Amino acid sequence: MVRIEKLDMVSAAKNSDSLVNLLQDSVKNGASVSFLSPLSDSAAEAYWREVFAEINSAQIIVWAAFDDENNLVGSVQLAPAKMQNAKHRAMVQKLMVISNHRREGIGNALMDTLELEAKNLEKKLLILDTRVGDPSETLYDKKGYIKFGTVPGYALNSSNDFDDMAFYFKII
C-alpha cells in the first residue's frame, strides 16, 4: 500500500537523499525529466535544493510516495502559475516513480492526489508535457489529459539526439 505525503521544507530536506536517488534513477533509465545521464550527485542535489526553496516560498507543491517500509518511491510537483491572469492554471511537473516499483499504481495515485489538491486550490486547468512515445503518455491519456500538440526536437536526450515532446491539458 502506497502512502502519499505532501512535503514541507523539513520533510523534503529529510528525504533529500531519496529524492536525489529518484531523479538519478529516472535519468539513468532514460526518462526525459530535464537532465542528462550521467546525472551527478551535486547536480541532482542542487536541483532539489532549488525545489526546496520553492516549497518554502509556496511557489510549488511537492508530494512523495512511500512504500510500506517507508522508502520514498515516487514524487510529483504542482506549480501554480504566477501571473494575475493565470491564477486558475498550474503545471504538472516531474512525475517520477522509482524503476523497481513501476506499474503498481503509484504514478496514478500521485496524480490523483495532485488533482484533488489542485481542485481544492480552485485551479481549473492543468498543463504538462512529456516525451512522445513514453509510458507517461498512456497514463495521462487514461487520466483524461488532452494532447494539444507535439513539438519536434524539443528536448535533448542523453544520446545527444533531440526528442519530440507532447503537450497536454486537462480541465478539472
Ligand X SMILES: CC(C)(COP(=O)(O)OP(=O)(O)OC[C@H]1O[C@@H](n2cnc3c(N)ncnc32)[C@H](O)[C@@H]1OP(=O)(O)O)[C@@H](O)C(=O)NCCC(=O)NCCS
Smallest separation (angstroms) from ligand X to the CB of 42: 21
The three three-digit cell numbers of residue 46, written as one number: 542542487
| Interface with ligand X, residue 135, by CB under 6 A | yes
- Fill in the DSSP letter of residue 59: S
- Out of 50, 142, 144, 146, the residue judged to bind ligand X by CB under 6 A: 142
Residue closest to ligand X when measured from CB atoms: 107
If one asks whether residue 33 binds ligand X (CB under 6 A), the answer comes out as yes
User: Whose Cβ is closer to ligand X: residue 54's or residue 134's?
Assistant: 134
Alpha carbons 136 and 130: distance in angstroms, whole number: 7
Window of 38-46, 81-89, 133-141, 163-171 that interacts with ligand X by CB under 6 A: 133-141
User: Residues 169, 148: contact at Cβ < 8 Å?
Assistant: yes
Q: Does 165 bind ligand X (CB under 6 A)?
A: no
**Inter-residue contact 153 to 129 (CB < 8 Å):** no
The residue among 64, 172, 158 whose CA lies nearest residue 117 is 172
Binding-site string for ligand X from residue 83 to residue 102, where x marks contact by CB under 6 A and - marks none: ------------xxx----x
Amino acid of residue 119 = K
